[in-house]
């Protein structure tokens, strides 16, 4: 049986109204995180505003927004850090907002990120609500908000923007809106290299029919993607890779290295795909000493949890598009030889991994669920303040 089909009766309330509790809860969690960060930074004599808007990758995005591409830093060891590693959609939006308002490029980045994070929360709710109902949708959004590295959602980084585009593209897939899905996937491909995950999800859903997915207790019963003309599926699939392909080809033309140009740029940052070898060596090195061995064991348990969540999603028959998307995000985050301190934030877009936990939380008593989420929000706020006031970039 294919995903072509019958529709259950739609929910009686509109999507924005159903999403409102999730969005209010999300804003509350993020406000708590920012308040704790401000207090912690003030006690240390640092600036929370600077940490959020003008450190690490934020500086590169703001520089591209203000001066265009062409900046690079040559390190003593011979590495070349080029701004061509940063995809253009976020700096384009920063430049646009700077032109329309008195905001600096850095503050424009914060404004884009704040707006995008709320849009991302709405998209996560929409996907979970369609599959499992509004209560699970609220729980999914709150779990995404209380991620230990959730503070990145409020930084002038591209994670929130990418997650918003990815979530709404996946929702468009589940709704049978193939052209919209392809256009949003194209924009996601202009935001981060992991845009390939959204492209793969659209391709699989559009070109490889599959069976019933989701939960029978969701608002649409066991989900079937609505029927659509074949040309819409094909057009959506064709549009999906255009953003990423255009940027990669442009970088290759600019560097003179053709299709390998972007890979060479990433190599200058010591970024590459090695199947997880460098990460395994990093964890193995941590296990040889104390107290680093405790952190190494925690990393192993964290990876095991991620794999368990993915397998649980398979067993719960998540839509194939979501499984492909979260699988690619997970593989690229764990199997790349990038800066190891950044791996947790690279997993922020993998929100479908939270759905098994969201379903379990939705079945709990409201008081218990609220207490758990409140405790996690407090822990995430403290961890985020400690993390951003640390020595390395997130």
Whether 336 is in a domain gets the answer no
pLDDT at 219: 54
Q: Report yes or no: 92 and 161 within 8 Å, Cβ to Cβ.
A: no
By mean pLDDT, which of 85-99, 115-129, 229-243, 274-288 is the weakest? Answer: 274-288
Whether 300 is in a domain gets the answer no
Residue 147: which pLDDT band, with cuts at 50, 70 and 90?
A: very high
pLDDT at 11: 64
Token pair 């999300």: residue: 26
Whether 335 is in a domain gets the answer no
Q: Report yes or no: 119 and 164 within 8 Å, Cβ to Cβ.
A: yes
Whether 263 is in a domain gets the answer yes
Q: What is the pLDDT of residues 253-269, one digit of tens each?
A: 999 988 789 999 999 99
Proportion of the chain above pLDDT 90, given as a percent: 75
Q: Is the pLDDT of residue 229 over 90?
A: no
pLDDT at 207: 86
Copy the structure tokens of residue 362. 């939705």
pLDDT at 1: 34
Helix (H, G, I), strand (E, B) or coil at 190: coil
Copy the structure tokens of residue 113. 């990120």
Whether 302 is in a domain gets the answer no
Mean pLDDT of the chain: 90
Domain that holds residue 120: 15-271+352-388
By mean pLDDT, which of 181-195, 229-243, 283-297 is the weakest? Answer: 283-297
Residue 213: which pLDDT band, with cuts at 50, 70 and 90?
A: low
Q: Report yes or no: 164 and 248 within 8 Å, Cβ to Cβ.
A: no
Whether 327 is in a domain gets the answer no
Q: Report yes or no: 65 and 108 within 8 Å, Cβ to Cβ.
A: yes
**pTM of the model as a whole:** 0.93
Task: Report how many domains make up the chain.
Answer: 1
Whether 52 is in a domain gets the answer yes
Q: Report yes or no: 56 and 155 within 8 Å, Cβ to Cβ.
A: no
pLDDT at 299: 86
Q: What is the pLDDT of residues 35-57, one digit of tens each?
A: 999 999 999 999 999 999 998 99
30-56 burial, b for 16+ CB within 10 Å, e for fewer? bebbbebbbebbeeeeeebeebbbbbb
What is the end-to-end Cα distance of the chain in Å, rounded? 45
Whether 117 is in a domain gets the answer yes
């Amino acid at each position: 049986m294919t995903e072509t089909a019958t529709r259950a009766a739609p929910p009686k309330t509109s999507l924005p109204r159903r999403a409102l509790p999730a969005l209010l809860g999300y804003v509350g969690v993020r406000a708590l995180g920012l308040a704790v960060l401000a207090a912690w930074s003030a006690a240390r004599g640092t600036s929370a505003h600077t940490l959020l808007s003008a450190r690490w990758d934020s500086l590169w995005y703001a520089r591209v927004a203000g001066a265009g591409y062409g900046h690079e830093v040559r390190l003593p060891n011979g590495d070349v850090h080029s701004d061509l590693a940063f995809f253009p959609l976020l700096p384009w939006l920063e430049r646009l907002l700077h032109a329309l308002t008195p905001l600096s490029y850095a503050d424009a980045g914060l404004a884009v990120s704040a707006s995008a994070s709320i849009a991302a929360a709405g998209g996560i709710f929409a996907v979970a609500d369609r599959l499992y109902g509004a209560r699970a949708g609220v729980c999914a959004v709150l779990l995404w908000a209380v991620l230990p590295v959730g503070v990145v959602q409020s930084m002038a980084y591209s994670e929130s923007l990418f997650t918003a585009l990815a979530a709404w593209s996946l929702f468009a897939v589940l709704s049978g809106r193939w052209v919209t899905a392809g256009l949003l996937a194209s924009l996601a491909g202009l935001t981060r290299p992991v845009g390939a995950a959204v492209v793969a999800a659209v391709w699989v859903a559009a070109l490889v029919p599959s069976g019933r997915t989701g939960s029978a207790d969701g608002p649409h019963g066991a989900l079937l993607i609505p029927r659509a003309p074949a040309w819409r599926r094909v057009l959506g699939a064709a549009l999906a890779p255009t953003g990423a392909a255009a940027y990669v080809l442009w970088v290759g033309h600019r560097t003179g290295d053709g299709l390998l140009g972007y890979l060479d740029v990433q190599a200058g940052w010591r970024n590459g795909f090695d199947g997880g070898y460098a990460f395994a060596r990093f964890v193995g090195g941590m296990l040889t000493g104390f107290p680093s061995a405790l952190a190494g064991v925690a990393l192993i348990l964290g990876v095991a949890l991620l794999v368990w969540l993915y397998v649980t999603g398979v067993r719960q028959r998540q839509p194939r598009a979501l499984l492909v998307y979260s699988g690619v995000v997970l593989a690229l985050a764990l199997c790349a030889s990038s800066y190891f301190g950044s791996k947790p934030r690279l997993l922020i877009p993998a929100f479908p991994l939270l759905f098994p936990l969201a379903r379990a939380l939705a079945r709990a008593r409201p008081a218990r669920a609220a207490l758990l989420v409140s405790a996690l929000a407090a822990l995430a706020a403290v961890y985020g303040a400690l993390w951003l006031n640390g020595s390395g970039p997130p």
